[in-house]
Amino acid sequence: MERVHIDVKNKFKIDDKISQYIKPQIIYVPLENKNGVVYKHLVKEGDYVYKGDVVAINEDIDFPIHSSVSGNVISGTKKLISNGKKIKCIVIENDFKERYKNKLGAKRVLTNYSKEEFLKMLKNSGITGLGGSDFPTFLKYNVSCDIKCLVVNGVECEPYISCDKAIMRNYAEDILEAIDAILEIMNIPYSIIAVKENDYETITSFNNYIGTYPNIKLYGMPDAYPSGWERRIINTIFGVDYDKYPTEIGYLVSNVSSIYAILELLKYNRPLTERVITITGSGIKNPVNVKVKIGASIQEIIKYIDGYKDIKNPLFIAGGPMMGNSLPVDDVVITKDLNCILVIDDDYDKSLPCIRCGKCIGVCPVGIMPVCIMKNYNNYAKLKDLKPNKCIECGLCSYTCPSKIEVREFVRLAKDTVIKHDEV
């Protein structure tokens, strides 16, 4: 497979500072996540909720969503989430008192937990993969086999997104402390933090402290897309492959923002109610990385950071330009998976017919044939052998297509065709 470096037309300089906007008027709790997982609401209109109260739950695995504010539950509404769907939400009016039902415990010793206690805490905290997967972290960490190495993913290869980078540069010492604690609790011999090999500032931030952590090493990944893909990281560092999950062969991979959330959990027993996201693009006056409450509205936050630039056809993208979803408007709720909102001028040229150049095949990291899948996207008999379900939706086929065809969207449709057929 060809190695692809993504050129970004306009780079928007964001300094390392993390701004903060943690006083939203209203919080929305969607009752379905971007992967279609349904949550049952546990509160009703008129109820008072404390910050950190569980307000909805995935009943299949008993996995919670917490309120990120204290306040009153008001009448529900529907809001857009990161996958572009409008979802029914619990609505909470913030009373700005930040009241917890139970007083938070004093700062704790990070390693004072058994593995079982730690897994239970992970589950009760609602922490998920903050790199965008929204996969519950307690499920990922609950492995029966021995883990040889904890691999911390700080590669962040999508253009424009820099929230992980900001966290690493601001909290390098905290991240090392958290990794060290996880190694001890989970009885894992060592850890590797994967970062981009040319991200010198981040490497320096870690190098300032890493000497006191002999079990933690840094690894420089090539600055090519998709270097942050879990499978690519494991293959590059260890030269091995796996079937479904890296834990099958003894590697546990965790995103660096999730590691930071685990630090807050271990230290203060705090559930996940805030995260850092990148808001950037040619349509944003002041691109930033900003710490926000989960459930806040993007509209309100963009107003707070000085609003929009005057651009002709604003296009809103949840996530990065490669894997993200375009949104019709900015009326979007911040969910746990949302790491970036990109606002750009929609000046893309209209697509042309396929010229059968085969470039999309050459770049596909999972070795499938996007152009053939595209041409048969609703033909199950032909799709069976083309394996569209292996697609990781990295977007490289669309990016490289000289005819500007949204090839990935056809591959997504093909995946749906296969899923629907297999369900019958």
Residues found near ligand SF4 in the complex (CB under 6 A): 354-360, 363-366, 368, 370-371, 391-397, 400-403, 405, 407-408, 411
Omega into 226 within 30° of 0, i.e. cis? yes
We find the least distance from the C-beta atom of residue 407 to ligand SF4, in angstroms, to be 5
Q: How far is CA 138 from CA 1, 62, 328, 337, 406, in A?
A: 34, 11, 34, 16, 35
Closer CB to ligand SF4, 215 or 403, in the complex? 403
CA distance 258 to 337: 11
We find the least distance from the C-beta atom of residue 157 to ligand SF4, in angstroms, to be 13
We find the least distance from the C-beta atom of residue 363 to ligand SF4, in angstroms, to be 6
CA distance 177 to 251: 20
CA distance 282 to 70: 35
Closer CB to ligand SF4, 328 or 358, in the complex? 358
We find the least distance from the C-beta atom of residue 270 to ligand SF4, in angstroms, to be 36
Contact between 20 and 93 (Cβ < 8 Å):
no
We find the least distance from the C-beta atom of residue 380 to ligand SF4, in angstroms, to be 17
Closer CB to ligand SF4, 90 or 396, in the complex? 396
Closer CB to ligand SF4, 4 or 183, in the complex? 4
Closer CB to ligand SF4, 21 or 410, in the complex? 410
- Terminal C-alpha separation, the chain: 35
Contact between 129 and 275 (Cβ < 8 Å):
no
Contact between 45 and 73 (Cβ < 8 Å):
yes
Closer CB to ligand SF4, 297 or 398, in the complex? 398
φ, ψ of residue 395 to 5 degrees: the values are: 85, 0
Closer CB to ligand SF4, 105 or 402, in the complex? 402
We find the least distance from the C-beta atom of residue 361 to ligand SF4, in angstroms, to be 7
Nearest-CA neighbor of 343 among 303, 400, 402? 303
Please, what's the b/e burial string for 345-366 (b: 16 or more CB within 10 A of its CB; e: otherwise)?
eeeeeeeeeeeeeebbbebbbe
We find the least distance from the C-beta atom of residue 384 to ligand SF4, in angstroms, to be 16
